[in-house]
Amino acid sequence: MKNKKKICFITGGRADYDLLYPLIQKVNKSKELELQLIVTGMHLSKEFGNTQKRILNDGFIISKKIKTINSKDTELGIVKSFSLGTQNIGKTLAKIKPDLVVVLGDRSEIYAGTCAAFFLNIPIAHIHGGEVTSGSMDDIMRHAITKHSHLHFVSTKEYKKRVIQLGEKPNSVFNVGSLGVENIKNLKLMSKYEVEQDLKISLGVTNFLITYHPVTLERDKTIKEFKNLLQALNEFSQITLIFTKSNSDLFGRKINQIIDLYVKQRKNAYSFMSLGKKRYLSLMSHVDGLLGNSSSAIIESPSFKIGSINIGNRQKGRIIPDNIINSRSDAKSIKSSIKLILSEKFKKKLKMIKNPYDKKNVSKNIYEIIKKNLSNKIINKEFHDID
Q: Residue 178: what pLDDT? A: 96
The predicted pLDDT at position 8 comes to 98
Phi and psi (nearest 5°) for 228? -65, -40
Cα–Cα separations (whole angstroms), residue 322 to 327, 329, 350, 370: 14, 20, 8, 33
What are the pLDDT digits (tens) for 40-83? 988 988 877 788 999 999 999 999 999 887 656 678 888 888 99
- Nearest one of 117, 100, 120, 119 to 109, comparing CA atoms: 117
Mean pLDDT, all residues of the chain: 92
Q: Is the pTM of this model over 0.85?
A: yes
pLDDT digits 0-9 by tens, 139-179: 999 999 999 999 999 999 999 999 999 999 999 999 999 99
Q: Which residues of the chain carry a pLDDT beneath 70?
A: 1-2, 70-73, 219, 376-379
Q: Which domains does the chain have, with CATH numbers?
A: 5-177+359-373 (3.40.50.2000), 190-350 (3.40.50.2000)
SS3 content of the chain, % helix, strand, coil (to 5): 45, 15, 35
Distance CA 181, CA 186 (A): 9
What 3-state DSSP class applies to 349? helix
